[in-house]
A and B are shown apart, each in its own frame.
Chain A
Amino acid sequence: MTVDLFLLQLFTGLALGSIFVLVALGLSLIFGLLTIVNFAHGQFFMLGAYVGAFVLGMTGNFWLSLIAVPLAVGAVGMLCERFLVRPLYGRGIDYPLLLTYGLGLILLETVRILAGTQGIPFNTPPVLSGAADLGFFFFPKYRLFLIAITAIILVALWLFLERTSYGLIIRAGARDQEIVQVLGVDVGRVWLVVFGVGVAIAGLAGVLAAPIRGVFPEMGVPVLVEAFVVTVVGGMGSLLGAVVAGLAVGVTVSFTSFFYPEMATLSMFLLMALVLVFRPRGLFGRAGLLG
């Protein structure tokens, strides 16, 4: 393996990892605060792609769809939280998990009914299509954009959590919910926002992935599994873990694809099994959480 090839494979892995990071972020955020394992996460990803394709079809503007998707999908997510998930708080983790599983089926089938089963085209925006010369090799511009926008979303999320009063409450709530409640904060509203934000990021990931993976009803199914692997490897509820593990899984899959291509998917699960055996809480998981 030459240096050029090594770098290309590494870069490809990082671009792949960017999508992993985005889908795992939302899942981890929701789990970290709400201790809800959102099994409909992949379907919100799919919903994002469909909303994006719809907005793109109406306006012809890719950037507009990037703004509209998180708003629309976040709104749907908040509705789901308010009317479906909320009654289940405090009833353990399996009930919400099973509820969101059912919710995922409903979302999937609804999209099939509304938009058909065949999938719809989603072209790469012209300004981002084609390849850029990175010195060592040519790399698709869109994938570079994907790495960049993931970084931007991470910074924005970090600012939201660290620099806003909402973020403060969320962080406090993640540490100790009772104290926050005692301090008179309306925890219900915080949860609503967190669920909305987590799901909105999943939707955004969906529309960002659309030019690469296409738009079709079943696109969220493998995503759920990928997001889980990343979240478990990183440690459930840890945002830093989601980022590190997302990139690590992307690079692992990428190099496995080079040396043992048929093991590419399995490598993810092997990594997860390894981490769980040696570090059962994941790389950055907190002790005590659901222990």
Chain B
Amino acid sequence: MSLRLTRRSLLAGAGAAAAASPFSFSIARSQETPIKIGFPVPLSGPYSSEANDQVRCAQLAIDWFNEGASRKAELVVRDDKLNPGEAATRALELIESDKVDFLCGSLSASVQLSVNQVASKRGVIYNSISQSDTINEASDFTKYTFHEALNPHMTAGAVARYAFKNAKGKKVAYLIADYAYGTEMLRGFRNVAKETGMEEVAEVRHPLGTTDYSTFFPRIQSARPDVLVVVNFGRDQLNTLKQATDFGLKQQMQIVYPVILDTQRFAGGFAPFEDVIGGGNYYWTLEDEHESAKRFNDAYRKKYPDQGVPSAYGALGYAGVYGLLNGVKEAGGAKTDDVIAAMETMKYDAYKGAEYFRKCDHQAVQSVLILKAKAEDKMRDKWDIFEIVDTQPADEQFLRTCEELGHKA
């Protein structure tokens, strides 16, 4: 008996266990082989709650497609451990061994770039659902690369336009995590700062994964900014806000984040986030405006009654798989070149209003929400944490031009 057999039986066992767990892998019942979508996300580690919500939501997109479809779709979930090397290995497994038709997923810039490399070389479409400017650029982009997530340029731009317009004064300071995500966001903010005549009084780059931010504050406080733009992610975001509150920074300046995380607000208590402004791809109250958001939320509530509402990151899992399968529907099959052609021309409304992929870089052109964290006494219930204060519409003018990205017209 070879290990290969052992693994098959193990996988079957895992499938049975998963069926009992909150997210079940759909098993196609039709005679045809199912359309397989490989879904590597960081199921273990610090972002596991976000990743698990992405799996839940991705499954909803599969359900949406399978309803009435003759050839069913199926999700093949793998743990990428938030590690690009592991993710590349898993992508190889999904392509070479599981023979997936498409890939979707990732929660960090480096992981998506590595999956993109592996997938592109082997001619497999990859729809990335995590922020990065680099993946749209000519050096990393191939025709197999799609990017459903927002990118830092459009996010930072949207937040900056709102925050700088509503600022009490003209001075801005930046506290930036020292890596690609931070640098790309900073570039987006600076562009708008130049246009709107903001004066930059401090730029502080902190090492990734810093636990105590207090040592960076004196320099920022002494510069007396009106707006403090902080760019970091996950627990770094929560810790920065907690400590900034202790040091009284919030009384002195408006704190602005390019992306404000609902999951971190739930994890860290509500006080540190109060009055902070930030961007987002999705917030569940969009259902008041958009039919598609309502449909998505209702499906979520029905299938996962204990989970409340979908998170912004979960919603990206939905949109990523939805985009691929919508392409399959339009193309009338899962052939790679047909699906690429369909995705390049289609308009789709997955969960937040109309979107489409720009032809030159396959970036999803979409709206960006500006959110403000509600004060605790203004919240109606535990899910009522943000207010949508503004929306930047879906428009290519908010993206870098194809030439800027290095694509030949």
Contacts and interface: CB of A to CB of B under 8 A. Distances in A.
Q: Do chains A and B touch in the complex (CB under 8 A)?
A: yes
A63 interface: no
Size bin of chain B's contact surface? 20 to 34
Contacts of A213: 211-212, 239, 242
A12 B46 contact: no
B242 A118 contact: no
Given A12-B214, A138-B248, A258-B219, A264 B207 contact: yes
B121 to A, nearest CB: 33
A247 interface: no
A152 interface: no
18 contacts: A5-B219, A9-B218, A12-B218, A15-B214, A16-B215, A117-B48, A118-B263, A143-B246, A214-B238, A214-B267, A222-B211, A223-B211, A253-B215, A257-B204, A261-B204, A263-B207, A264-B207, A265-B209
Contact of B216 (A218, A261, A266): A261
Given A5-B222, A12-B218, A216 B235 contact: yes
A212 B207 contact: no
A117 B46 contact: yes
A213 B222 CA distance: 24
B196 to A, nearest CB: 26
B248 A261 contact: no
| Among A8, A121, A216, residue most surrounded by chain B Cβ atoms (within 10 Å) | A121
A262 interface: yes
Interface stretch (A91-99, A123-131, A166-174, A179-187): A123-131
Contacts of A216: 46, 235, 267
A117 B178 CA distance: 25
B205 interface: yes
Interface in B162-215: 178, 204-207, 209-212, 214-215
B239 A16 contact: no
Interface of A: 2, 5, 8-9, 12-13, 15-16, 19, 116-124, 129, 131, 138, 140, 142-143, 211-214, 216-219, 222-223, 253-254, 257-258, 261-266
Contacts of A212: 212, 214, 239, 242-243, 246
Interface in B26-59: 45-46, 48-49
A118 B215 CA distance: 26
Contacts of A217: 46
A2 B222 CA distance: 10
Given A214-B239, A222-B211, A262-B207, A120 B267 contact: yes
B214 A121 contact: no
9 nearest CB pairs, A to B: A121-B269, A257-B215, A265-B207, A140-B246, A262-B205, A254-B215, A119-B267, A117-B48, A118-B49
A128 B49 CA distance: 32
Given A222-B209, A262-B206, A266-B207, A214 B218 contact: no
B348 interface: no
B268 A214 contact: yes
A218 B235 CA distance: 10
A211 B214 CA distance: 13
A9 B215 contact: yes
A263 B248 CA distance: 25
Nearest to A141: B246
B271 interface: yes
Q: Determine which residue in B45, B212, B263, B268 has the highest number of CB atoms from chain A within 10 A of its CB, and name it.
A: B212
Nearest to B43: A117
Nearest to B215: A257
B214 A143 contact: yes
A173 B114 CA distance: 53
Contacts of B209: 222, 265
A258 to B, nearest CB: 5
Interface string B210-233: 111011111100100000000000
Nearest to B48: A117
Contacts of A19: 212
| B235, B243, B246, B267 interface centre (most CB from chain A within 10 Å) | B246
Contacts of B268: 119, 121, 214
Contacts of A142: 246
B210 A265 contact: yes
Contacts of A214: 235, 238-239, 242, 267-268
Interface in B252-281: 263, 266-269, 271
A71 to B, nearest CB: 26
B216 to A, nearest CB: 5
Contacts of A266: 207
A196 B235 CA distance: 30
A138 B222 CA distance: 12
Contacts of A219: 211
